[in-house]
Amino acid sequence: QSDYGMYLDNEMSTKRNFIKNNVHRPNVTPDFIQSIKDKIRVV
């Protein structure tokens, strides 16, 4: 078991996919984008 117990996290010098592909990513609407830009303009 100890032998059984970094590579996929790219933490090594010179297989997650399911989670990455299925996580919910809320839609960013053009209105939301514009609202942020409008607020920035008045800062």
Partner 1 sequence: MDQKEKHEIFEKELFPHLDALNTFAYHLTYDEDYAKDLVQETYMKAYRFMDKYQKGTNAKAWLFKILKNAYINHYRRDSRRPTKVDFEDVVNYQDSDDDRGSSYFDLREEIFENMMGDEVTTAINSLPVDFRTVILLCDIEGFTYDEISKIVDIPTGTVRSRLFRARNMLKEKLKEYAESLGFEDKRGNKGNEKSDE
Residues that bind partner 1 (CB under 8 A): 1-2, 4-5, 9-11, 16, 18-20, 22-26, 28, 32-33, 35-36, 39-40, 43
| Burial (CB count within 10 angstroms: exposed 0-12, middle 13-18, buried 19+), residue 28 | exposed
In angstroms, what is the minimal distance from the CB of 9 to partner 1?
A: 6
Cα three-residue angle 2-4-20, rounded to 5 degrees: 130
Query: What is the amino acid identity at position 5?
Result: G
In angstroms, what is the minimal distance from the CB of 30 to partner 1?
A: 11
| Pick 1 or 14: Cβ nearer partner 1 | 1
